[in-house]
Structure 1
C-alpha cells in the first residue's frame, strides 16, 4: 500500500512546474504592469536629476544629513537620497511591489489557473517572493546608482567630510556609501515581507498596500520618542538610521550590525508566516477574503514576540546608556578638532594636527538645571583647544540640537572669527566656514574607545 501511494505521488511532483519557470512567469507579470515600469524608470532617472539640480543651487538642504556638503563632493548626494529613501521612497516602493502581489490574484480569481499550471502552492509562493525581491533590488540599485552618478557628474569625486569631521578619501567614501545602501536593504526587505504577509493574510483587500508605509511611519514616530536604547534598536526601521555610524572613525558598527540583524530577522519571520498562511488557505473557496482571526494570531503575535525577545537580548547583551553628557562632549570635541584642521588648510594657515590641538568640550543641558542626558535642543558646549606656541587656549561656544537617534547639529555661537559665518576658498569654489555649523553623531551603545 505504501509503495502504491509513493508511486502515485511521484507523477504529481514531477508534473509541477520548476521554480525557475514559475519565477520567470511571475517576473514577467510584475514587469508588465505599467506602475512597475514607471517606478523602474523613476528610480533610475529621477534621483540623479534631483541630486544634480540641488547641487547647483545656492541653498542646500542643510537640515538633511550630509546635505550641507553637496557643494563639496559628489558622494554627499547619494547619502542625502538614502535619508529620503529610508523615510519615504523605500516604504512606498515595497508597498507597490509586495503589498498587492497575492491579493491581486484573489481579486482577479486566477488562483485556479495558477494551480493548474504550476501544481504546487509552495512553488507559487517561492516564485512570487523571488520575483518581488528581484524588482525591489532593481529599484534600490537604481536609487543608489542614479544619485551617485548625478552627484559625481555635477560636483566631482572629492573627499567627503564624515560625521566626526574627519576627511574620507574618495575611494573610502565610495565604499562606505555602497555599504550604507547595502545596509538599507535589510529594513527594505523587512517592509517587503510585511507587505507580503498583509497581502496573504487580508485576502482580496488591497489593505496590504498600506501596511509597509504605515509600519514604517510608526517606526519613524517611535524613533522620535524618548524610548530606551534597547527598544529603539529592536525596531527594524533603526537600520535606516544606523548607517550613519559608517561615517565616523572608528566606525560605529555595533548599532549597524544589530539593526541589520533585527531587520533580517523580521524579514525571515514575516515571510515564513506569510508562507504558512498561504499554504493553509483553501483555494477552492471562491469567496475567500482573508485569514480572519488567524491573521492576528499567526501574523502579528509572532512579530510582537520577536520584538520582545530582541529588546531583552539587546538590553542584557549591550551597555546601552544612550545620550550622556560625556558622550556629547567627546563627540563635539572630536568633530571640532577635525574640522579646525580642515579650516586651517582652507585658510592657508600653518598646519596643525588633532593631537596638537588637544580639543576638549564642556557641555551642559538646560544650563545645568536638568538631567545632563537625553535629546533636546538645549545643549550648550564650550570647546577649548591649544595651538602650538600660543600660551592662551582658544574657546568657542556651540548650541546643540541633539536628536533622539544620537545625531546632533552644532551651531556656532562665537567668536565669529572661529565659528561665525564666512566663506572660505576650496577646490570646488567658495564654501561656508566648516566650523560654523556641522553635523555629528553620539553613539548610543558604549562600544568605541573613550580615549
Structure 2
C-alpha cells in the first residue's frame, strides 16, 4: 500500500517564520567546508591573479580587454568576468544551489525539517533565499577582489573601449559594475536549473552537474554558425552580451534581450522546482526522484520557452542571419581606427586631429571576395583609408580580422609598419605596444544603434 504524501498541518498550528528558516538554511550552507572554501577563493584568488598578470610582460591578449591589463585596473575585472562566465559562475551555481534539496534526501533529515518548519512553502523560499545570498556573496568577492588587485597594481586609469574610445575611470568603473550585474541574470538561471535538478532527482548528486552541463552546452552552441535569434534565446548569452556596454553609444539591444531571456529561465525553472517540491512524497525514505515528472515539469517547459523566445526574437528583430555583415564590419573597424589613431597621435606627441576630420573609412572583403560577404571567420581583410587635414595624400593601412560568432573581432595590423606595425610607445603607465598594431572591436549583431 502506497504511503500518503505529506500534508501540511492546519493553519492554526505554529509555523516557523520565513526569516528564521532563512537564517537556519543560510547557516547550514555557510557551515559546509566547500562553501567556505569557495568564499575564501572568490575573495582572494581573483585579486592575486589580476595583480600577477598585470605585472607580467606577456598579457592574455586572446581574452577580451586582456591587452589593457598593464594600463588600467578596470581591465582586470573584465578579464575575470570573461573567465567566470565560462567556468567559475556555473561552478558556483552548481555547488550552492545544485545540492540544497538533494542533501536533505541523502541525510534523511526531511522529517525533522518538516516538523520544525511545518510549511513546504517556507522551506522552499528559505532554501532559495539562502542560496541566492551565498551566490551574491561569492560574485561580490570576484568583483571586489579583481578590482582591488588591479587598483593596487596598475592604478585608476582610463580604459579603451571596443570602439577605440577612451573611457574615463569613473565611466569605466560604472560600466564594469553594470557588466557584472548583467552577468547575474544567467548565473541565476543556472542556479535555478540547479534547484530544479536538486528537487527532481532526489538524493542523486546529478543536480550538481546540470548547471555546468547547461553552461557548456550553451558555450558550444555559441561557437556554431547559428542565427542571431537562436543565440539570443540561449540563457548563457548574457555572459557575452555585456561587450556591448563598452562602445559609444552602448549596444544595448542584444544585452537587454539576453538578460530578459536569462531571467525568464530563472523564473520558470524556480517555479517548476516549486511545483515538483509540493508534489513529492516525503513519507518515503527511499524517494529517489520522479523521472516522469522531471521530464514533463522540467525539460519540456524549458524547451518550450526556448522555442518561444527564438520565435519572439526572430519576429521582433531582423535577426535570421549571423548578424555579421560587410557594412557593419567596415563601420566598426573605421570607428575604432579613428579613435585609436587619435590615441596614437597623443602618445607620439603629434598635433591632435578630430575623428570627423580624419574621415576614416574601411573596405573589407571576406575570403578574397569569394562567397557571401558576411559571417564569422579569420579570413576578413580590410583596408582602412583616412585623410589628414592639409595633407593631399590619402593614408591607408591593411588589417587582417578574426571575427567571432558573437561579433567580437581582433584586428591585426599588416602594414605599413609606421602606422600599424609593432613598436613601443611611451605612455603614462610605461612603454606599451602601438595601439594601432592589434586591437579588439565589436560588431553589433542587431541594428539597434545609430549608424552615425
TM-score by length of 2: 0.97
Report Cα offsets for 1:148-173 as digits up to 9, x if no partner: 11011100000000000000000000
Cα distance between partner residues in 1 of 2:160 and 2:318: 29
What is the match of residue 90 of structure 2?
91
Q: Secondary structure at the match of 2:382?
A: strand
| Structure 1: 5+ residue stretches without partners | 1-7
In structure 2, the residue matched to 1:445 is 446
Q: What is the CA–CA distance in structure 1 between the aligned matches of 2:332 and 2:63, rounded to whole Å?
A: 19
Quote the Cα distance in structure 2 between the aligned partners of 1:418 and 1:25: 63
Q: Distance in 2 between matches of 1:350 and 1:10?
A: 79
- Which position in structure 2 is the counterpart of 1:235? 234
Report SS of the residue matched to 2:10. helix
Written as runs of structure 1 = structure 2, the 5 A alignment for 1:101-112 is: 101-112=100-111
Taking the TM superposition and a 5 Å limit, the aligned residue runs for 1:51-90 are 51-90=50-89
- Separation in 2, partners of 1:84, 1:245: 17
Q: Is this contact kept in 2: 1:161–1:168, CA < 8 A? A: yes
In the other structure, the counterpart of 2:246 is: 247
Specify the alignment match of 1:352 in structure 2.
Answer: 353
Q: Corresponding residue for 1:378?
A: 379
Residue 431 of structure 2 aligns with which residue?
Answer: 430
Q: Kindly indicate whether the alpha-carbon contact (under 8 Å) linking 1:407 and 1:439 is maintained by their aligned counterparts in 2.
A: yes
Q: 2-side partners of 1:210 and 1:238: how far apart?
A: 20
What's 1:197 paired with? 196
Counterpart CA distance in 1 for 2:174 and 2:438 is 26
CA contact (8 A) 1:277 1:291 kept: no
The 3-state SS of whatever aligns with 2:11 is: helix
Deviation at 1:130, TM superposition (A): 0.2
What is the aligned partner in structure 2 of residue 368 from structure 1?
369
RMSD: 0.7
Q: Deviations over 1:12-69 (max 9, x none)?
A: 3xx1110000000000000000110110010001000100000000000000000000
Any idea what the Cα deviations from partners look like across 1:346-372, whole Å, max 9, x if unmatched? 000000110010000000000001210
Total equivalences in the alignment:
442
Contact 1:16 1:119 in 2 (8 A): yes
The CA deviation at 1:291 is 1.6
Q: Distance in 2 between matches of 1:257 and 1:193?
A: 20
Q: Which residue of 2 aligns with 1:293?
A: 292
Cα shift readout 1:299-339 (whole Å, capped 9, x = no counterpart): 01100111111011100111225000000000000000000
- 5+ long unaligned stretches in structure 2: 1-8
SS of equivalent to 1:204: coil
What's 2:343 paired with?
Answer: 342
**Post-superposition offset of 1:10:** 3.3
SS at match of 1:300: helix
Matched residues in 2 for 1:87 and 1:354: separation? 36
Q: Report the counterpart of residue 116 of structure 1 in structure 2.
A: 115
TM value normalised by structure 1: 0.97
- After the TM superposition, list the runs of 4 or more consecutive aligned residues in structure 1 that deviate by more than 6 angstroms: none
CA distance in 2, matches of 1:74, 1:307: 38
Secondary structure of the residue that 1:380 maps to in structure 2? strand
Aligned residue runs from structure 1 range 121-160, under 5 A = 121-160=120-159
